[in-house]
Amino acid sequence: MNKELIGLIKISKAVGKDNLLVQGGGGNTSLKTGDGRHMYIKASGTALKDMNEQKGWRRLKLGSVLAILKDKLITRLKPVDRENEIVNRLNLTCSDSVKTGSRPSVESHFHALLDRCVVHLHPVAVGAYVSAKNGKKELEKLFKNEKFPPLWMPYTDPGYTLAIKVAGAVESYRNQYGRKPVIIFLEKHGVIVAGKSPDVTLRLVRRVINICNAKLKKQKSAPLKAVKQKDIIDARCAIRRAFLEVTGRHVIVRHFINNDIAKFLTRRDAKKLASLPALTPDELVYANGPAVWLDKCTYKTAIDRLNRHTAKGEKARVSFLVRGLGLFVAGSEESIEAAKDVIIASLLVRGFAANLGGVNSLNRHERQFIIQWEAESFRQKLVEGVGNRELQGRIAVITGAGSGLGRSIAIGLARSGAYVALVDIDKKAIEETRGIIRKELLRSSTMTVYCDITREKDVDKAFDSILHKWGGVDILVNAAGIAPAYSLIDLPVARWRCALEVNLTGYFLMAQAAARIMIKQAMAGNIINISSKSGLEASRNNTPYNATKAGEIHMARGWALELGKYGIRVNSIAPGNVFEGSKIWNPKYIRVCAKKYKIKPEEVIPYYVNMTALKREITGQDVADTVIFLCSEKARTITGQTLVPDSGQVMVR
């Protein structure tokens, strides 16, 4: 790795880790090679803090980038065609071995015009001025003693248009001062700082921030009153439901409250400031606009406000400021973090700018350009992550997720786009499951929940932790189970009672807690009991398993009748013998089966496979696929039923 790339990564991480300097995937950095032939620059949509040796950057041929600015034919294209042409041409200037499909920043042009190292940031301290009506005058006062004063750029649509404007302004500045500017303030945007090296540029960044901060009037702390967790959960459920209703998307909702949010909420003009249009492009890209202000958060108030914005052709806002409660953000885990940082920075800027002659928001034309700009749509897609998979955004809870069918179902649900809560009494086992999912699906979201499902307090605590992390529950799969194998005359009553507790009481407690949440959400939902073919057709020496697996099916039928009016579907799956990774099919159980059928232990699995019509072994993925089908819209009219993935061993009567 050459020294320029090392330097770019160093400066990117230094500024990227501070949310007061840059938020989400905003901001840019670049560093030119010593021979002036190439420029390393941040890739579009990548967060500065996430850049490393393998990703987050591109190397461009500097001469080719500058040549784009000199091509007069580009100016004759329509805005949409022009910006697409620029994206294609910038990709052609790349000279590296990056294969990730990332593309260079759309700001590559004006980075190419400036000194060797360039940093473009959106600091809160700078935002206070560039988003204020008197911001330019105030900055002139702050930097009046500079030998080479900062360059002020009036707001211009980003991309090629801004690059052309910057090129002209830089040339005029050089004619006046004999050198290029090292500080450029971009109205309604941020600041660009340029220097001869990463260290020089970082020192200049800190100096600019300190100068801007020195004159900002800080608001005194004003902590909010204590908030009931019930009120927060109710608000999250209301927002989830409203967001689904308006967008058709299942999302998670997170709640945030810190000193900055609390101070803003206690301002007398909080509602007025929050209701102003977006201040910067990032606010539109990462949050679809500023936070929605709600005096009270209910499903009705949330959906009314969302509908009001979408009726104007805007995208559904993802953040909500609720008086007395705090900030709520909807989306995926990655998009929520980016939106949260952008919105909190916006709250701070709005407060500061109000004291500098008033807030200077993006006007309708400026907002419309950003919304329609392909480059920002590209950034937004990167933040939102993978596309619309079958169960995208659903929150799923799986018991027995540490092994066997529970593990297979958890992996399958994660593959289908669900957020997966792995519930088990074996802590080590669920961590192993989580590791398997993370290794295969880098952007998946899981949580491990230690829980004895036979204990009501454990179950309540488990669902509390799931609600705290994701704000709801859409799917419950009861997959935990035990199978004590004894003949009737040898069965210890303690083993009988243990099977009843795990296979029946555990299923009941989990379903009861999940159903209460699903009813409260009013977003429908799915409950699935993993029974067994033994629940349909009894087997010898299996009294507890036969009884409890049949009981699970009948419980599900009753629940389906009770919960149908809420749109909650309840079904059972009665798999055939699934051997892979099963704790039930352990060596002891296999020996019992071998004795029962008078065969050798190694002949047990082939024996059972041969009993099926298809002569095909059932895998955990087969059962997971059945779960995914039942939870999907394809099964929207199926409830109270039992599906039997067993290769045709048992026929449902």
Catalytic residues: 545
How wide is the angle at C-alpha 468 spanned by C-alphas 467 and 473, nearest 5°?
A: 15
DSSP letter assigned to residue 522: T
What are 591-599's contacts with CB under 8 Å, separation 24+?
A: 592/485, 592/541, 593/485, 596/540, 596/541
CB 20 within 8 A of CB 124: yes
Sign of CA dihedral 213, 215, 216, 219: positive
Please, is 218 exposed, middle or buried when counting C-beta atoms within 10 Å of its C-beta (0-12, 13-18, 19+)? exposed
Contacts of 266 (CB under 8 A, 6+ apart): 222, 224
Among all chains, which residue has been given the structure tokens 């909500």?
A: 320
Which ranges of 355-455 does DSSP label H, i.e. alpha helix? 364-372, 374-384, 404-415, 427-440
26 phi and psi angles, rounded to 5 deg: -75, 175
Q: How many CA atoms lie within 13 A of 267 on its CB side?
A: 23
Please, is 138 exposed, middle or buried when counting C-beta atoms within 10 Å of its C-beta (0-12, 13-18, 19+)? middle
449 phi and psi angles, rounded to 5 deg: -130, 110
Q: What region, left, alpha or beta, does residue 178 occupy, with left being phi > 0 and alpha being psi -120 to 50 degrees?
A: left
CB 419 within 8 A of CB 446: yes
Which ranges of 17-78 does DSSP label H, i.e. alpha helix? 62-70
Would you tell me how many other CB atoms lie within 10 Å of the CB of residue 589?
16
CB 628 within 8 A of CB 599: no
61 phi and psi angles, rounded to 5 deg: -80, 115
Residue 313 DSSP SS3: coil
Q: Tell me the two tokens of residue 638.
A: 């199926």
CA distance 651 to 405: 21
Q: Tell me the two tokens of residue 507.
A: 């299923």
Closest by alpha carbon to 483, among 499, 471, 468, 460?
499
Q: Which residues on adjacent β-strands are paired with residue 447? A: 421
The 3 state secondary structure assigned to 274-302 is HCCCCCCHHHHHHHCCCCEEECCCCHHHH
572 phi and psi angles, rounded to 5 deg: -120, 150
Identity of residue 440: E
Q: What region, left, alpha or beta, does residue 452 occupy, with left being phi > 0 and alpha being psi -120 to 50 degrees?
A: beta
453 phi and psi angles, rounded to 5 deg: -70, -10
Q: Tell me the two tokens of residue 300.
A: 């009705």
